[in-house]
């Protein structure tokens, strides 16, 4: 009688993998103003994000172009295996996919950031993770193609981090524009029930923001 | 503060008004307030005193129980030592004195042979009877002129001389033979001496056990009689043992910590590393379980070997069953050591793979460091040896439990005694505080009291404030206990009062 009770206690004490796993979606802008930053962004992903990921974590890499809310914008998706050796192999494959993308990246005419965020949100919703984050490498200047309508919704429980936000020429003329642009994104993410919006200059802080 | 004043503009007048009002209120209620304070003092102080008494009696019971357990454990320990000495004595007799009959027989044979040889040397050959005298007599015969007689005499002389020489030679030969026999006896004497020394050593060794048993028996008798010195010795020994055991267990815990970290990382390859139990990764829990299993297997090995006696069930098991448990536990420990050794090797591989991955992710062309097999071998050896070292933790653990019980018991007794003392101190403090408050109250209403004294002196003497006393305060000395002059004075006063 005692043994089953003890076993039940142990099983109840067992946490699900998802309670400690993280899901991260990296969005990389390929518009003309940011395409030169794609390779450094990939390097940051490989050096700061991949090594910090642990078994059970989900990683998604997608890019922003004129129409970002498309499945073909996803570069790579993976959930790390429970075994560290397998996880290492997956990380290596993910890094190769990122390298392949950075080699054949094409400049986009428009910048559909919202579409990319929605795409990431869809993928993150499927992931069984306690913490969900969207990391955006962009100048955060959205330029939707004509006829495209975007409204951010359903970002519940998702953190949005803008990393390596590039300053535009107009920002140099008036830095308030840069800050105002980010403030608008902050309010947009908050309105979409996002957990929070942060913008980070130092890539080294990414690991700390991810809680690792 | 101003709110408390009746007339904030004139604080002095307000204070005076408050004083007068309180005088009017407190003076009629003086006796009731005294009773209230007395009641409060008795309830708090009495409760504390009762608590103190209960704590003291509990401490006394715990002390007696501790003493009983200490003496009982000392007796058990002494019985174990005596039993051990008896076993050694038995082993010593069966092992060392096994050769005694053979030795005795050898010694006996040697003595017999020496006796026979000695008797042989005692058979002295008969000395040639009077040959020198006869030769001298023949030599002293005057030379005769007759040729025939002279020839006869010469023949007689020659025969006498030859006979003398023959007898002398035979005597010398016989003496030489006896000397040879005596010389051949020397090795036998040496052998006999050696055998005797061996016998002495064996018997002395056996007698050493007897001396130790005597000493243990003496201590055992003292413990049975509840000797105070023996009790103190046991208590001191328990504290020393506890310190030693704590040190040893601390070192073992450090070893277990090292062991744990050696296998925690590779364990993630064997169990689902993402799963957690109460926030701890399952791989870490699994590593901890392996370490605990090693310690448990070591515990069973020690129990089966009879080194420790933590499980009474083991003592009741027969030798065969103990041997089976020993084999099972030993094999388990060996398997766990092998597993840990392989995990240690796997750990090194995982670390190398991680390093390689980071280099590939960084796409750095830094040449890989020259790999050496020394760390792998070292970790494998460490992984194999640590479980065996961890197994020995059973010994200090037993010592820790045994001595910790005594030291903990003594600490509990000391804590209870301290609580009792504090309780008594607080009770006294409450008592005197209430007395002081009562006196202060009377001082506060001193004016109405004095007025009352002036008005009512002839009829009703004022109520004197009796200091609060508790039941177990020191009572007033009885008449017979007072010194003679005081006793007479008290008797006179008592007579005048009556």
Say how far residue B112 (Cα) sits from the centre of its chain.
55
| Percent with pLDDT over 70 in chain B | 84
CA B215-B218-B223 angle, to 5 degrees, is 125
Asked if pLDDT for residue B19 goes beyond 50, the answer is yes
Q: Could you give the ipTM of this predicted complex?
A: 0.71
Q: What tokens were used for B303?
A: 């129990």
Return the pLDDT at B366. Answer: 53
Q: How far is B362 from chain A (nearest CA, A)?
A: 6
Residue where the block lists tokens 């980070």:
A200
- Alpha-helical (H) ranges within B392-483 are 394-444, 446-456
Return the pLDDT at A76. Answer: 92
**Chain A partners within 8 Å of B265 (Cβ):** 84
User: What are the CB-based long-range contacts (under 8 Å, 24+) for A11-16?
Assistant: A13/B277, A13/B278, A14/B275, A14/B276, A14/B277, A14/B282, A15/B275, A15/B276, A15/B277, A15/B278, A15/B279, A16/A128, A16/B275
> A1-27 pLDDT, tens per residue?
455 565 555 555 555 555 678 899 999
Asked if pLDDT for residue A66 goes beyond 70, the answer is yes
Which H or E element spans position B280?
Answer: strand B280-281
Say how far residue B253 (Cα) sits from the centre of its chain.
21
CB contact under 8 A, A14 and B362: no
pTM of the model: 0.60
Return the pLDDT at B138. Answer: 67
User: How many Cβ atoms are within 10 Å of B1's Cβ, its own excluded?
Assistant: 6
User: In Å, how far are A40, B263, B366, B418 from B356, measured between CA atoms?
Assistant: 21, 21, 11, 64
Strands B280-281 and B276-277: antiparallel
Half-sphere CA count of B273, side-chain side, radius 13 A:
20
Return the pLDDT at A160. Answer: 92
**Chain B partners within 8 Å of A92 (Cβ):** 357, 360-361
**Chain A partners within 8 Å of B273 (Cβ):** 54-56, 82-84
Highest mean pLDDT of the ranges A90-104, B7-21, B155-169: A90-104
Say how far residue A12 (Cα) sits from the centre of its chain.
32
CB contact under 8 A, A51 and B361: yes
**What are the DSSP E strand ranges found in B229-275?**
none
Say how far residue A121 (Cα) sits from the centre of its chain.
9
CB contact under 8 A, B357 and A51: yes
Residues 6+ apart with CB under 8 A from B123: none
Q: What is the rounded CA–CA span in Å between residue A197 and residue A117? A: 12
Closest CB from A15, A17, A46 relative to B361: A46
> A17-58 pLDDT, tens per residue?
556 788 999 999 998 888 888 888 998 888 888 888 888 889
**What are the DSSP E strand ranges found in A34-182?**
58-64, 74-79, 131-137, 158-163
Q: Crossing angle, helix B147-224 and helix B100-122, to 10 degrees?
A: 160
**Lowest-pLDDT range, A166-175, B20-29, B270-279, B395-404?**
B270-279
Q: What is the rounded CA–CA span in Å between residue A75 and residue A61? A: 5
Is the Cβ of A106 closer than 8 Å to some Cβ of chain B?
A: no
Asked if pLDDT for residue B278 goes beyond 80, the answer is no
Which residue of chain A is at minimal alpha-carbon distance from B349? A85
**What are the DSSP E strand ranges found in chain A?**
14-15, 22-29, 58-64, 74-79, 131-137, 158-163, 196-200
Is the Cβ of A16 closer than 8 Å to some Cβ of chain B?
A: yes
Side by side, the strands of the sheet bearing B280-281 are A14-15, B276-277, B280-281
């Amino acid at each position: 009688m005692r043994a089953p009770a003890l076993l039940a206690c142990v099983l109840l004490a067992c946490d699900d993998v998802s309670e400690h796993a993280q899901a991260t979606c990296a969005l990389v802008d390929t518009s003309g103003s940011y395409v030169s930053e794609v390779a450094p962004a990939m390097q940051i992903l490989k050096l700061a994000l991949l090594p910090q990921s642990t078994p059970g974590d989900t990683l998604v890499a997608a890019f922003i172009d004129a129409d970002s809310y498309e499945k073909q914008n996803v570069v790579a998706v993976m959930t790390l295996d429970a075994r560290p050796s397998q996880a290492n192999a997956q990380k290596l494959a993910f890094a190769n996919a990122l390298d392949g993308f950075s080699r054949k990246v094409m400049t986009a005419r428009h910048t559909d950031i919202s579409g990319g965020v929605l795409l990431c949100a869809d993928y993150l919703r499927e992931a069984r993770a306690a913490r969900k984050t969207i990391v955006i490498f962009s100048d955060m200047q959205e330029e939707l193609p004509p006829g495209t309508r975007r409204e951010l919704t359903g970002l519940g429980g998702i953190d949005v981090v803008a990393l390596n936000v590039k300053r535009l020429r107009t920002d140099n003329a008036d830095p308030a524009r840069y800050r105002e642009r980010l403030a608008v994104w902050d309010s947009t993410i908050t309105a979409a029930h996002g957990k929070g919006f942060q913008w980070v200059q130092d890539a080294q802080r990414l690991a700390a923001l991810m809680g690792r | 503060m101003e709110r408390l004043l009746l007339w904030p503009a004139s604080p002095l007048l307000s204070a005076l008004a408050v004083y007068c009002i309180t005088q009017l209120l407190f003076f009629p209620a003086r006796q009731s307030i005294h009773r209230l304070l007395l009641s409060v003092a008795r309830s708090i102080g009495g409760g504390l005193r009762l608590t103190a008494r209960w704590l003291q009696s509990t401490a006394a019971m715990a002390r007696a129980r501790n003493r009983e357990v200490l003496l009982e454990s000392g007796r058990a320990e002494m019985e174990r030592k005596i039993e051990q000495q008896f076993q050694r004595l038995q082993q010593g007799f069966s092992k060392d004195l096994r050769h005694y009959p053979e030795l005795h027989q050898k010694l006996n044979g040697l003595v017999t042979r020496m006796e026979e040889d000695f008797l042989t040397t005692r058979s002295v050959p008969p000395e040639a009877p009077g040959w020198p005298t006869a030769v001298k007599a023949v030599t002293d015969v005057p030379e005769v002129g007759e040729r025939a007689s002279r020839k006869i005499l010469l023949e007689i002389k020659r025969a006498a001389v030859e006979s003398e020489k023959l007898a002398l030679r035979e005597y010398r030969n016989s003496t030489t033979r006896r000397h040879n026999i005596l010389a051949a006896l020397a090795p036998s004497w040496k052998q006999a001496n050696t055998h005797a020394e061996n016998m002495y050593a064996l018997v002395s060794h056996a007698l050493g056990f007897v001396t130790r048993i005597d000493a243990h028996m003496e201590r055992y008798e003292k413990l049975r009689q509840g000797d105070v010195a023996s009790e103190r010795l046991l208590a001191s020994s328990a504290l020393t043992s506890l310190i030693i055991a704590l040190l040893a267990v601390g070192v073992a815990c450090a070893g277990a910590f090292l062991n744990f970290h050696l296998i925690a990382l590779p364990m993630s390859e064997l169990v689902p590393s993402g799963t957690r139990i109460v926030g701890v990764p399952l791989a870490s829990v699994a590593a901890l379980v392996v370490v605990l299993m090693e310690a448990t297997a070591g515990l069973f090995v020690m129990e089966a070997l009879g080194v420790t006696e933590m499980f009474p069930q083991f003592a009741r098991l027969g030798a065969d069953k103990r041997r089976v448990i020993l084999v099972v536990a030993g094999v388990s420990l060996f398997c766990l050591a092998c597993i840990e050794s392989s995990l240690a090797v796997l750990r090194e591989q995982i670390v190398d793979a991680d390093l390689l991955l980071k280099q590939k992710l960084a796409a750095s062309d830094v040449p890989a460091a020259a790999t050496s097999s020394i760390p792998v071998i070292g970790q494998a050896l460490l992984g194999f040896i640590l479980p065996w070292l961890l197994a020995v933790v059973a010994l200090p653990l037993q010592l820790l439990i045994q001595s910790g019980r005594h030291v903990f018991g003594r600490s509990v007794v000391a804590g209870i005694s301290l609580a009792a003392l504090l309780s008594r101190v607080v009770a006294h403090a409450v008592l005197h505080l209430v007395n002081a408050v009562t006196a202060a109250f009377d001082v506060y209403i001193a004016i109405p009291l004095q007025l009352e004294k002036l008005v009512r002196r002839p009829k009703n003497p004022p109520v004197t404030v009796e200091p609060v006393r508790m039941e177990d305060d020191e009572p007033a000395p009885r008449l017979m206990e007072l010194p003679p002059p005081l006793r007479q004075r008290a008797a006179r006063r008592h007579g005048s009062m009556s």
